[in-house]
């Protein structure tokens, strides 16, 4: 599966690359990670939920950098699928 399949399924759309949006998503991810660290001693479940959101913001940053946006209902899943396609993974045979 490739990006063209995600486009055919209507899960992503091409847009002009958005450096400002990418920066904003990365700033948000950093903020969420700092918040998760503060909360972990109080409520670990909530800290994990916040850290999860940080990961999704990082995925969105990658998409915006590449000139894509997720579409449809399940945008979080689409963002993760997108990143798995475009980011090399060491030790997985995909690097």
Grouping H, G, I as helix, E, B as strand and the rest as coil, residue 69 is strand
Give residue limits of the domains in the chain.
15-84
The pLDDT tens digits of the residues spanning 50-82 come to: 999 999 999 999 999 999 999 988 888 999 999
CB distance 58 to 76 below 8 Å: no
The pLDDT tens digits of the residues spanning 14-26 come to: 999 988 999 999 9
CA 68, CA 65: separation in Å to the nearest integer? Answer: 8
- pTM (two decimals): 0.84
């Amino acid at each position: 599966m490739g990006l063209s399949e995600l486009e055919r399924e209507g899960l992503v759309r091409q847009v002009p690359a958005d450096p400002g949006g990418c920066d904003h998503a990365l700033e948000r991810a950093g903020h969420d990670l700092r918040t998760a660290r503060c909360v972990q001693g109080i409520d670990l479940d909530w800290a994990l939920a916040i850290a999860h959101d940080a990961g999704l913001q990082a995925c969105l940053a990658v998409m915006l950098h590449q000139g894509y946006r997720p579409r449809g209902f399940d945008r979080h899943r689409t963002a993760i699928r997108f990143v798995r396609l475009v980011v090399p993974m060491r030790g997985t045979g995909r690097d």
